[in-house]
Protein backbone atom coordinates (compact mmCIF):
# COMPACT_ATOMS: atom_id res chain seq x y z
CA UNK A 1 0.00 0.00 0.00
CA UNK A 2 2.62 2.43 1.06
CA UNK A 3 4.44 1.84 -2.16
CA UNK A 4 1.44 2.35 -4.35
CA UNK A 5 0.30 5.56 -2.76
CA UNK A 6 2.79 7.95 -4.37
CA UNK A 7 2.16 6.49 -7.78
CA UNK A 8 -1.52 6.87 -7.32
CA UNK A 9 -1.23 10.43 -6.17
CA UNK A 10 1.03 11.09 -9.09
CA UNK A 11 -1.52 9.92 -11.54
CA UNK A 12 -4.45 11.88 -10.28
CA UNK A 13 -2.15 14.84 -9.99
CA UNK A 14 -1.31 14.41 -13.64
CA UNK A 15 -4.97 14.37 -14.62
CA UNK A 16 -5.57 17.48 -12.59
CA UNK A 17 -2.62 19.22 -14.14
CA UNK A 18 -3.80 18.19 -17.56
CA UNK A 19 -7.29 19.50 -16.85
CA UNK A 20 -6.09 22.85 -15.59
CA UNK A 21 -3.51 23.49 -18.23
CA UNK A 22 -5.87 22.58 -21.08
CA UNK A 23 -9.10 23.91 -19.61
CA UNK A 24 -9.92 25.84 -22.78
CA UNK A 25 -10.02 22.60 -24.74
CA UNK A 26 -12.49 21.08 -22.32
CA UNK A 27 -14.74 24.10 -22.61
CA UNK A 28 -14.74 23.61 -26.36
CA UNK A 29 -15.80 20.06 -25.79
CA UNK A 30 -18.61 20.98 -23.43
CA UNK A 31 -21.34 21.91 -25.97
CA UNK A 32 -20.88 18.66 -27.84
CA UNK A 33 -20.92 16.58 -24.70
CA UNK A 34 -24.01 18.30 -23.39
CA UNK A 35 -25.70 17.89 -26.77
CA UNK A 36 -25.16 14.15 -26.72
CA UNK A 37 -26.13 13.96 -23.11
CA UNK A 38 -29.36 15.93 -23.44
CA UNK A 39 -30.59 14.67 -26.79
CA UNK A 40 -29.14 11.16 -26.94
CA UNK A 41 -28.75 9.87 -23.41
CA UNK A 42 -31.59 11.40 -21.43
CA UNK A 43 -34.26 10.17 -23.87
CA UNK A 44 -32.92 6.65 -23.41
CA UNK A 45 -34.78 6.29 -20.16
CA UNK A 46 -37.91 6.08 -22.31
CA UNK A 47 -36.74 2.76 -23.73
CA UNK A 48 -38.19 1.06 -20.70
CA UNK A 49 -41.73 1.45 -22.07
CA UNK A 50 -40.88 -1.52 -24.29
CA UNK A 51 -41.16 -3.60 -21.13
CA UNK A 52 -44.20 -1.80 -19.77
CA UNK A 53 -47.81 -1.29 -20.58
CA UNK A 54 -47.68 2.41 -21.24
CA UNK A 55 -50.54 4.49 -19.87
CA UNK A 56 -50.31 8.18 -20.74
CA UNK A 57 -51.71 9.39 -17.44
CA UNK A 58 -49.39 7.23 -15.37
CA UNK A 59 -46.35 8.40 -17.28
CA UNK A 60 -43.37 6.31 -18.29
CA UNK A 61 -42.25 5.56 -14.76
CA UNK A 62 -45.68 4.84 -13.36
CA UNK A 63 -46.88 2.38 -15.99
CA UNK A 64 -46.92 -1.27 -14.95
CA UNK A 65 -44.17 -3.68 -15.99
CA UNK A 66 -45.15 -6.50 -18.33
CA UNK A 67 -41.75 -8.07 -18.99
CA UNK A 68 -41.20 -9.45 -22.47
CA UNK A 69 -44.87 -9.59 -23.43
CA UNK A 70 -44.55 -7.15 -26.33
CA UNK A 71 -41.49 -8.92 -27.69
CA UNK A 72 -43.28 -12.25 -27.55
CA UNK A 73 -46.23 -10.79 -29.37
CA UNK A 74 -43.96 -9.45 -32.10
CA UNK A 75 -42.01 -12.71 -32.48
CA UNK A 76 -45.19 -14.75 -32.72
CA UNK A 77 -46.88 -12.32 -35.10
CA UNK A 78 -47.75 -13.67 -38.51
CA UNK A 79 -45.72 -10.96 -40.22
CA UNK A 80 -42.56 -11.26 -38.11
CA UNK A 81 -40.49 -13.30 -40.54
CA UNK A 82 -41.59 -11.27 -43.50
CA UNK A 83 -40.65 -8.02 -41.77
CA UNK A 84 -37.27 -9.33 -40.72
CA UNK A 85 -36.50 -10.80 -44.11
CA UNK A 86 -37.52 -7.68 -46.02
CA UNK A 87 -35.51 -5.43 -43.75
CA UNK A 88 -32.40 -7.59 -44.04
CA UNK A 89 -32.66 -8.17 -47.77
CA UNK A 90 -33.22 -4.52 -48.56
CA UNK A 91 -30.23 -3.55 -46.46
CA UNK A 92 -27.99 -6.20 -47.92
CA UNK A 93 -28.96 -5.08 -51.39
CA UNK A 94 -27.92 -1.55 -50.56
CA UNK A 95 -24.75 -2.76 -48.89
CA UNK A 96 -23.73 -4.77 -51.95
CA UNK A 97 -23.73 -1.55 -53.93
CA UNK A 98 -21.26 -0.01 -51.50
CA UNK A 99 -18.34 -0.07 -54.04
CA UNK A 100 -20.22 1.98 -56.66
CA UNK A 101 -19.25 5.43 -55.35
CA UNK A 102 -15.64 4.23 -54.96
CA UNK A 103 -15.55 3.19 -58.59
CA UNK A 104 -17.09 6.47 -59.65
CA UNK A 105 -14.61 8.43 -57.53
CA UNK A 106 -11.69 6.56 -59.08
CA UNK A 107 -13.09 7.35 -62.50
CA UNK A 108 -13.55 11.03 -61.68
CA UNK A 109 -10.01 11.09 -60.39
CA UNK A 110 -8.70 9.97 -63.76
CA UNK A 111 -10.41 12.84 -65.57
CA UNK A 112 -7.85 15.43 -66.45
CA UNK A 113 -10.01 18.07 -68.13
CA UNK A 114 -10.98 20.50 -65.36
CA UNK A 115 -14.16 21.94 -66.83
CA UNK A 116 -15.56 18.62 -67.99
CA UNK A 117 -14.73 17.03 -64.66
CA UNK A 118 -16.50 19.74 -62.68
CA UNK A 119 -19.49 19.59 -64.94
CA UNK A 120 -20.01 15.84 -64.61
CA UNK A 121 -19.48 16.00 -60.89
CA UNK A 122 -22.08 18.70 -60.45
CA UNK A 123 -24.49 16.70 -62.57
CA UNK A 124 -24.14 13.64 -60.38
CA UNK A 125 -24.45 15.65 -57.17
CA UNK A 126 -27.63 17.42 -58.20
CA UNK A 127 -30.22 14.71 -57.45
CA UNK A 128 -29.01 14.64 -53.85
CA UNK A 129 -30.90 17.87 -53.22
CA UNK A 130 -34.30 16.59 -54.31
CA UNK A 131 -36.60 15.70 -51.42
CA UNK A 132 -37.77 12.13 -50.95
CA UNK A 133 -41.40 13.07 -51.50
CA UNK A 134 -40.57 14.57 -54.86
CA UNK A 135 -38.48 11.57 -55.87
CA UNK A 136 -41.35 9.20 -55.11
CA UNK A 137 -43.71 11.50 -56.98
CA UNK A 138 -41.37 11.30 -59.96
CA UNK A 139 -41.25 7.51 -59.69
CA UNK A 140 -45.04 7.32 -59.67
CA UNK A 141 -45.25 9.62 -62.68
CA UNK A 142 -42.56 7.84 -64.71
CA UNK A 143 -43.57 4.29 -63.86
CA UNK A 144 -47.36 4.56 -64.12
CA UNK A 145 -48.66 1.63 -66.19
CA UNK A 146 -50.95 3.83 -68.32
CA UNK A 147 -49.33 7.22 -68.59
CA UNK A 148 -45.74 6.68 -67.42
CA UNK A 149 -42.81 7.49 -69.67
CA UNK A 150 -41.04 4.16 -69.08
CA UNK A 151 -44.12 2.14 -69.93
CA UNK A 152 -44.67 4.22 -73.05
CA UNK A 153 -41.20 3.16 -74.15
CA UNK A 154 -41.88 -0.46 -73.29
CA UNK A 155 -45.10 -0.35 -75.27
CA UNK A 156 -43.34 1.32 -78.19
CA UNK A 157 -40.97 -1.64 -78.21
CA UNK A 158 -43.98 -3.89 -78.57
CA UNK A 159 -43.95 -5.32 -75.06
CA UNK A 160 -46.59 -5.44 -72.35
CA UNK A 161 -46.47 -2.55 -69.85
CA UNK A 162 -44.99 -3.49 -66.47
CA UNK A 163 -46.82 -2.57 -63.26
CA UNK A 164 -43.58 -1.49 -61.56
CA UNK A 165 -45.05 0.08 -58.45
CA UNK A 166 -47.53 -2.65 -57.63
CA UNK A 167 -45.25 -5.58 -58.17
CA UNK A 168 -43.35 -7.06 -55.22
CA UNK A 169 -40.59 -8.26 -57.56
CA UNK A 170 -39.80 -4.75 -58.69
CA UNK A 171 -39.99 -2.94 -55.40
CA UNK A 172 -36.47 -3.61 -54.17
CA UNK A 173 -34.82 -2.73 -57.47
CA UNK A 174 -36.76 0.49 -57.84
CA UNK A 175 -36.12 1.46 -54.25
CA UNK A 176 -32.40 0.75 -54.26
CA UNK A 177 -31.55 2.06 -57.71
CA UNK A 178 -33.57 5.24 -57.38
CA UNK A 179 -31.65 5.72 -54.13
CA UNK A 180 -28.38 5.21 -55.98
CA UNK A 181 -29.41 7.68 -58.65
CA UNK A 182 -30.04 10.18 -55.90
CA UNK A 183 -26.95 9.72 -53.73
CA UNK A 184 -24.24 8.21 -55.89
CA UNK A 185 -22.54 11.47 -56.86
CA UNK A 186 -22.77 12.84 -53.38
CA UNK A 187 -21.14 9.79 -51.81
CA UNK A 188 -18.11 10.11 -54.10
CA UNK A 189 -17.05 13.38 -52.46
CA UNK A 190 -15.34 11.82 -49.48
CA UNK A 191 -13.40 9.36 -51.64
CA UNK A 192 -12.33 12.15 -53.97
CA UNK A 193 -11.01 14.00 -50.96
CA UNK A 194 -9.08 10.93 -49.89
CA UNK A 195 -7.72 10.48 -53.41
CA UNK A 196 -6.55 14.08 -53.45
CA UNK A 197 -4.34 13.19 -50.49
CA UNK A 198 -2.46 10.46 -52.33
CA UNK A 199 1.22 11.35 -52.58
CA UNK A 200 1.93 12.36 -56.23
CA UNK A 201 5.51 11.15 -55.89
CA UNK A 202 4.23 7.60 -55.73
CA UNK A 203 2.50 8.04 -59.06
CA UNK A 204 5.53 9.63 -60.63
CA UNK A 205 7.79 6.86 -59.43
CA UNK A 206 5.36 4.26 -60.76
CA UNK A 207 5.20 6.03 -64.12
CA UNK A 208 8.98 5.92 -64.32
CA UNK A 209 8.79 2.19 -63.62
CA UNK A 210 6.39 1.86 -66.54
CA UNK A 211 3.15 1.20 -64.64
CA UNK A 212 -0.09 1.56 -66.63
CA UNK A 213 -3.03 3.65 -65.45
CA UNK A 214 -4.93 0.59 -64.27
CA UNK A 215 -1.94 -0.70 -62.42
CA UNK A 216 -1.53 2.62 -60.69
CA UNK A 217 -5.19 2.63 -59.68
CA UNK A 218 -4.96 -0.83 -58.19
CA UNK A 219 -1.50 -0.53 -56.65
CA UNK A 220 -1.53 3.08 -55.46
CA UNK A 221 -4.99 4.70 -55.37
CA UNK A 222 -7.00 1.89 -53.83
CA UNK A 223 -4.50 0.97 -51.11
CA UNK A 224 -4.14 4.66 -50.24
CA UNK A 225 -7.84 5.17 -49.65
CA UNK A 226 -8.36 1.77 -48.01
CA UNK A 227 -8.58 3.18 -44.47
CA UNK A 228 -11.31 5.59 -45.61
CA UNK A 229 -13.17 2.74 -47.29
CA UNK A 230 -13.04 0.54 -44.22
CA UNK A 231 -14.17 3.25 -41.84
CA UNK A 232 -17.01 4.26 -44.14
CA UNK A 233 -18.02 0.65 -44.52
CA UNK A 234 -18.24 0.19 -40.78
CA UNK A 235 -20.17 3.42 -40.44
CA UNK A 236 -22.51 2.10 -43.11
CA UNK A 237 -23.06 -1.01 -41.07
CA UNK A 238 -23.86 1.27 -38.16
CA UNK A 239 -26.76 2.53 -40.20
CA UNK A 240 -27.74 -0.96 -41.22
CA UNK A 241 -31.45 -1.61 -40.65
CA UNK A 242 -32.07 2.11 -40.84
CA UNK A 243 -33.28 2.50 -44.37
CA UNK A 244 -34.83 5.85 -45.15
CA UNK A 245 -38.21 4.58 -44.05
CA UNK A 246 -40.14 7.61 -45.35
CA UNK A 247 -39.40 6.54 -48.87
CA UNK A 248 -40.51 2.97 -48.23
CA UNK A 249 -43.69 4.26 -46.66
CA UNK A 250 -44.40 6.50 -49.64
CA UNK A 251 -43.77 3.70 -52.12
CA UNK A 252 -45.77 1.11 -50.21
CA UNK A 253 -49.13 -0.29 -51.29
CA UNK A 254 -51.05 -3.48 -50.58
CA UNK A 255 -49.75 -5.15 -53.71
CA UNK A 256 -46.04 -4.70 -53.06
CA UNK A 257 -46.14 -5.01 -49.28
CA UNK A 258 -44.89 -8.56 -49.60
CA UNK A 259 -41.44 -7.07 -50.11
CA UNK A 260 -41.91 -3.49 -48.96
CA UNK A 261 -43.09 -4.18 -45.41
CA UNK A 262 -40.10 -3.42 -43.21
CA UNK A 263 -39.63 -3.13 -39.48
CA UNK A 264 -39.49 0.65 -39.52
CA UNK A 265 -42.74 1.13 -41.38
CA UNK A 266 -44.29 -1.39 -39.01
CA UNK A 267 -43.09 0.63 -36.01
CA UNK A 268 -44.53 3.78 -37.53
CA UNK A 269 -47.89 2.14 -38.18
CA UNK A 270 -48.31 0.47 -34.82
CA UNK A 271 -46.66 3.19 -32.77
CA UNK A 272 -47.64 6.50 -34.25
CA UNK A 273 -50.75 5.65 -36.22
CA UNK A 274 -52.30 3.11 -33.86
CA UNK A 275 -50.90 4.50 -30.65
CA UNK A 276 -49.48 1.18 -29.37
CA UNK A 277 -46.39 2.85 -27.97
CA UNK A 278 -45.06 0.02 -25.86
CA UNK A 279 -45.35 -2.54 -28.60
CA UNK A 280 -43.73 -0.27 -31.16
CA UNK A 281 -40.91 0.53 -28.75
CA UNK A 282 -40.27 -3.17 -28.27
CA UNK A 283 -40.10 -3.71 -32.01
CA UNK A 284 -37.76 -0.75 -32.40
CA UNK A 285 -35.57 -2.00 -29.61
CA UNK A 286 -35.32 -5.39 -31.27
CA UNK A 287 -34.14 -3.66 -34.42
CA UNK A 288 -31.48 -1.75 -32.50
CA UNK A 289 -30.28 -4.96 -30.91
CA UNK A 290 -29.65 -6.53 -34.32
CA UNK A 291 -27.86 -3.36 -35.30
CA UNK A 292 -25.47 -3.44 -32.36
CA UNK A 293 -24.61 -7.07 -32.94
CA UNK A 294 -23.85 -6.38 -36.59
CA UNK A 295 -21.78 -3.32 -35.85
CA UNK A 296 -19.60 -5.09 -33.30
CA UNK A 297 -19.12 -8.10 -35.56
CA UNK A 298 -18.09 -6.07 -38.57
CA UNK A 299 -15.79 -3.89 -36.51
CA UNK A 300 -14.14 -6.99 -35.10
CA UNK A 301 -13.65 -8.49 -38.55
CA UNK A 302 -12.29 -5.25 -39.94
CA UNK A 303 -9.76 -5.01 -37.14
CA UNK A 304 -8.50 -8.50 -37.82
CA UNK A 305 -8.44 -8.20 -41.61
CA UNK A 306 -7.26 -4.69 -42.26
CA UNK A 307 -6.09 -3.23 -38.98
CA UNK A 308 -8.50 -0.38 -39.53
CA UNK A 309 -11.49 -0.13 -37.25
CA UNK A 310 -13.65 2.31 -35.36
CA UNK A 311 -12.42 1.22 -31.94
Q: Which residues bind other proteins (CB under 8 A)?
A: 15, 18-19, 29, 33, 37, 41-42, 45, 54-62, 73, 77-79, 140, 144-147, 161, 163, 165-168, 253-255, 257-258, 272-277
- DSSP states of 186-212 as a string? HHHHHHHHHHHTS-HHHHHHHHHTT--
**Residues 6+ away with beta carbon under 8 Å from 259:** 86, 89, 168, 169, 171, 172
For the bound state, the minimum distance from the C-beta of residue 272 to other proteins, rounded and expressed in Å, comes to 5
Q: Which is nearer to other proteins, 29 or 301 (CB)?
A: 29
The residue among 104 and 251 lying less far from other proteins, judged by its C-beta, is 251
Q: Which of 138, 39, 101, 61 is nearest to 228 (CA)?
A: 101
Which residues are CB-neighbours of 84 under 8 A, at least 6 positions away? 263
Taking the least distance from each CB to other proteins, the nearer of 155 and 213 is 155
DSSP 147: T
Largest CA-CA distance found in the chain, in angstroms, rounded: 92
Q: Give me the least distance between CB of 220 and other proteins, in Å please.
A: 35
Minimum Å distance from CB 90 to other proteins? 18
Burial of 310 (0-12, 13-18, 19+ CB in 10 A): middle
- At closest approach, how far in Å is the CB of 279 from other proteins? 8
Task: Identify which of residues 25 and 107 has a Cβ nearer to other proteins in the complex.
Answer: 25
Task: Calculate ∠ Cα 25-29-31, nearest 5°.
Answer: 135
Minimum distance from residue 17 beta carbon to other proteins (Å): 11
For other proteins, which is the closer residue by CB, 74 or 191? 74
Of 9 and 118, nearer to other proteins (C-beta) is: 9
- Shortest Å distance, C-beta 73 to other proteins: 6
Amino acid sequence: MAKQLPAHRGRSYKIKKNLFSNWQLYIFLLPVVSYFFIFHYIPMYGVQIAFKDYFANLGIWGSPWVGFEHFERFFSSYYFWRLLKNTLVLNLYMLVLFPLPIILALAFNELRNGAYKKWTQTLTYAPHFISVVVVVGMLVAFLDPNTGLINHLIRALGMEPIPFLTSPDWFRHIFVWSGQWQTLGWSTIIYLAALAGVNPELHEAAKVDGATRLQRIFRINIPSIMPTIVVLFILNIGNFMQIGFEKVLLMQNTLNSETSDIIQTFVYETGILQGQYSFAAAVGLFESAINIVLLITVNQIARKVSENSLW
